[in-house]
Amino acid sequence: MKLKQLLTALESYRLENAGDPDIVSVEMDSRQIQSGSLFVCVPGERFDGHDFVSEVISQGAQAIVAERPVSAEIPVIYVSEARRALSQLADMFYNQPTHHLDLIGVTGTNGKTTITHLVKQIQEHAGMKTGLIGTMGIKYGEKNISVNNTTPESPVLQKAFRDMVDDNVQSAVMEVSSHALVQGRVRGLDFNIAIFTNLTQDHLDYHGTMKDYLHAKSLLFSQLGNIYDTTRKKAAVINNDDSAAAVLKEATAASLITYAIDASADVRAENIVISAKGTTFDLITPEGRFQVVMKLVGKFSVYNVLAAACACWLNGVTWETIIEAIANIEGVSGRFETVNAGQSFSVIVDYSHTPDSLENALLTIKEFAKGRILTVVGCGGDRDRTKRPLMADIAVRHSDQAIFTSDNPRTEDPERILKDMEAGVEKGSYTTIVGRRDAIKHAVALAEENDIILIAGKGHETYQIIGTEVLDFDDRLEARQAIKERLKNGN
Ligand SMILES: CC(=O)N[C@H]1[C@@H](OP(=O)(O)OP(=O)(O)OC[C@H]2O[C@@H](n3ccc(=O)[nH]c3=O)[C@H](O)[C@@H]2O)O[C@H](CO)[C@@H](O)[C@@H]1O[C@H](C)C(=O)N[C@@H](C)C(=O)N[C@H](CCC(=O)O)C(=O)O
Ligand SMILES: Nc1ncnc2c1ncn2[C@@H]1O[C@H](COP(=O)(O)OP(=O)(O)OP(=O)(O)O)[C@@H](O)[C@H]1O
Ligand SMILES: N[C@H](CCC[C@H](N)C(=O)O)C(=O)O
Ligand SMILES: [Mg+2]
């Protein structure tokens, strides 16, 4: 696309060094530059894109977007906010793909990955080709592309949506993280449905307070009010059992569909029965009452199903088809995933890495546990420190044996993370084993018939980040290996 045409995306800018080169990509990362790229200089916390100008020019960049003076002989477009310009330029460069997709955004502290996978599976069961973007990557058709962040930056998003539209994808569902909302990574996306899951503590290292964290989440609902095309429905799907519901409703000009278990709502679940094998409940909808039988476990899974079902229904899927699809869903990788290697006790690997999700996981297990509950848990480094004592306390209160260990320590001292956790335990005992492999082995060695081991925090992750090194590590494989060794040794 010619630069001049691309710049029609911006309302206001100042151009230095006139020219109209062909632009082959819009980038914000010097490591992605090709000959013919336009580079947007984004000032960040660790780096400043403006410092890479000479490097990207030597790599063939043909235009620069900047907030402050840079030295360059190619066209430089000065704007007041580089990130805002970036999202507008990426939208224009890829020819506004989200205008051609029924786009669902899912935000909230817990349940985003699960709900996006449920929506994809339900809509595909109904014959709607559906794309997905989130923690587990970009997925559509046979494609499965890994991503660095749950919600990637706008050039990555827009490219993915363009590829989806070109591949005849009708609808896309994506996780929208609070970081992405604050940083404007999703600006320019034409959502037609926004889902709110829940708001509990996480990411206070970044947002500072729960009020600011909620404000970040509310941005998705304000963005839903941007009606580009009045023929397309815009609706917010909101969890009425969450105390943040009112604020999110206020934030949007779109229609509302609410769901709940306890409060009144448009779509509700009643008579919930939870077992180790699955959950059943009555689904109350504006179009009648239906029976749901599913393999997903726990009250939190009922919330996820309600949210996903509302969105699919808004996209035209019938309740009957939704229920049929849900009955066949096995679950999402690393979410309440069981490891079976011939042992007499149960092992559950779950991505609970917040106080609320850990408590939900443990309370769900308590509903069907016949033996003891042994919990292996750690907390991520370079992340919210204040959730550590809370998670430790929850683990000790709801388990018979809590084993504190490392999650992804990243650049923090693992021992210090464990100290932060230990500070939260008021009463009750726990064991501390820094090495996650040893901690899992210890739990497996302790387990007796009918006990349940919960390995929390890393779910589907196939790595462990220690320092800046990314090492192979998979809780499911570690558990399997530990069980095999124990069985081999005959105990
Ligand atoms: C706190 C946060 O979200 N930071 C993200 C943000 O960082 P930043 O704005 O400070 O930018 P920076 O890293 O200083 O870089 C500034 C600019 O220099 C550029 N750069 C940098 C280095 C270089 O060699 N060349 C270059 O051009 C960068 O591409 C960028 O344009 O923008 C960067 C570029 O996209 C992201 O890599 C970075 O994510 C960091 C790694 C991160 O850990 N983010 C996590 C917390 C995150 O975003 N998590 C959420 C949610 C998780 C959840 O669901 O619970 C997510 O969506 O994944
Ligand atoms: N609706 C829910 N309410 C509370 N906890 C939940 C809910 N859904 C899932 N969980 C718990 O949270 C964990 C993470 O779930 P999921 O990956 O779906 O959340 P997420 O919002 O995508 O997380 P992330 O912020 O890391 O992207 C699960 O393993 C489960 O323990
Ligand atoms: N999206 C979350 C994932 C946390 C997963 C946990 N294993 C950790 O590393 O803290 C985050 O970036 O905070
Ligand atoms: Mg996720």
pLDDT in tens, 329-363: 999 999 999 999 999 999 999 999 999 999 999 99
**Separation between Cα atoms, residue 41 and residue 457, nearest integer Å:** 35
**Separation between Cα atoms, residue 419 and residue 404, nearest integer Å:** 10
**Separation between Cα atoms, residue 296 and residue 368, nearest integer Å:** 14
Least confident of 111-125, 198-212, 412-426, 427-441: 198-212
The bound ligand whose nearest atom lies closest to the alpha carbon of 154 is 1
pLDDT of residue 206: 87
pLDDT of residue 200: 83
Instruction: With beta carbons less than 8 A apart as the criterion, state whether 123 and 317 touch.
Output: yes
Does residue 232 carry a pLDDT above 70? no
Least confident of 1-10, 73-82, 187-196, 219-228: 219-228
Per-residue pLDDT of 64-84, as tens digits, reads: 999 999 999 999 999 999 999
Per-residue pLDDT of 133-178, as tens digits, reads: 999 999 999 999 999 999 999 999 999 999 999 999 999 999 999 9
pLDDT of residue 479: 98
pLDDT of residue 144: 96
Alpha-carbon distance values, 412 to 296, 431, 465 (Å): 35, 21, 10
More confidently predicted of 430 and 224: 430
For ligand 3, is residue 353 a contact (CB within 6 Å)? yes
> What is the pLDDT confidence band of residue 94, given thresholds at 50, 70 and 90?
very high
On whether 360 is known to bind a ligand per the annotation, the reply is: no
Gyration radius from the chain CA atoms: 24
Beta strands in 100-230 (DSSP E): 102-107, 130-134, 137-140, 143-145, 171-175, 191-196
Does residue 230 carry a pLDDT above 80? no
Closest ligand 2 atom to Cα of 115? 18
- Tell me which H or E stretch contains 306: helix 299-314
For ligand 2, is residue 357 a contact (CB within 6 Å)? yes
pLDDT of residue 203: 84
> What is the pLDDT confidence band of residue 313, given thresholds at 50, 70 and 90?
very high
For 457, other C-beta atoms within 10 Å of its C-beta total 26
Closest ligand 2 atom to Cα of 197? 1
Concatenated DSSP letters of 327-357: HH----TTSSEE--SS-SSEEEEE---SHHH
pLDDT of residue 261: 98
What spacing in Å lies between the alpha carbon of 250 and ligand 2's midpoint?
25
* Percent of the chain surpassing pLDDT 90: 92
Task: Compute the C-alpha angle 263/268/269, nearest 5°.
Answer: 105
Nearest-10 crossing angle of helices 355-368, 387-398: 10
> What is the pLDDT confidence band of residue 379, given thresholds at 50, 70 and 90?
very high
User: What residues does ligand 1 touch, defined as CB less than 6 Å away?
Assistant: 28-31, 42, 44-47, 49, 52, 149-151, 153, 177, 179-180, 206
Tell me what the mean pLDDT of segment 103-122 comes to.
97
The structure tokens 């009606």 sit at 227
Q: Which residues contact 283 (CB under 8 A, 6 or more apart)?
A: 267, 268, 269, 289, 290, 291, 292, 306, 309, 319, 323
Does residue 374 carry a pLDDT above 90? yes
pLDDT of residue 14: 97
pLDDT of residue 407: 98
pLDDT of residue 27: 98
Does residue 1 carry a pLDDT above 90? yes
More confidently predicted of 478 and 253: 478
Residue (of 347, 367, 361, 364) closest to 450 by Cα position? 347
Q: How large is the ipTM?
A: 0.96
Does residue 222 carry a pLDDT above 80? yes
Residue 124: both structure tokens together:
């595909």
Residue 107: both structure tokens together:
């935000």
Does residue 457 carry a pLDDT above 60? yes
**Separation between Cα atoms, residue 162 and residue 158, nearest integer Å:** 6
For ligand 2, is residue 459 a contact (CB within 6 Å)? yes
Alpha-carbon distance values, 48 to 158, 280, 305, 378 (Å): 23, 52, 42, 33
Per-residue pLDDT of 166-212, as tens digits, reads: 999 999 999 999 999 999 999 999 999 999 999 987 888 888 889 99
Q: Where are the alpha helices (DSSP H) in 355-399?
A: 355-368, 387-398
**Separation between Cα atoms, residue 297 and residue 335, nearest integer Å:** 10
Name the CA dihedral angle for 30, 21, 90, 153, rounded to a multiple of 10 degrees. Answer: 0
Does residue 446 carry a pLDDT above 80? yes
Q: Where are the alpha helices (DSSP H) in 130-285?
A: 154-166, 178-183, 204-207, 210-223, 245-251
Fill in the DSSP letter of residue 372. Answer: -
Pocket test for ligand 2, best of 351, 366, 476 (most atoms within 8 A of CB): 351
Per-residue pLDDT of 97-112, as tens digits, reads: 999 999 999 999 999 9
On whether 408 is known to bind a ligand per the annotation, the reply is: yes
What spacing in Å lies between the alpha carbon of 35 and ligand 2's midpoint?
41
**Separation between Cα atoms, residue 363 and residue 336, nearest integer Å:** 13
Instruction: With beta carbons less than 8 A apart as the criterion, state whether 173 and 119 touch.
Output: yes
> What is the pLDDT confidence band of residue 225, given thresholds at 50, 70 and 90?
low
For ligand 3, is residue 412 a contact (CB within 6 Å)? no
The bound ligand whose nearest atom lies closest to the alpha carbon of 179 is 1
Does residue 85 carry a pLDDT above 90? yes
For ligand 3, is residue 378 a contact (CB within 6 Å)? no
State the chain's mean pLDDT as an integer.
95
What spacing in Å lies between the alpha carbon of 360 and ligand 2's midpoint?
10
pTM given for the model: 0.94
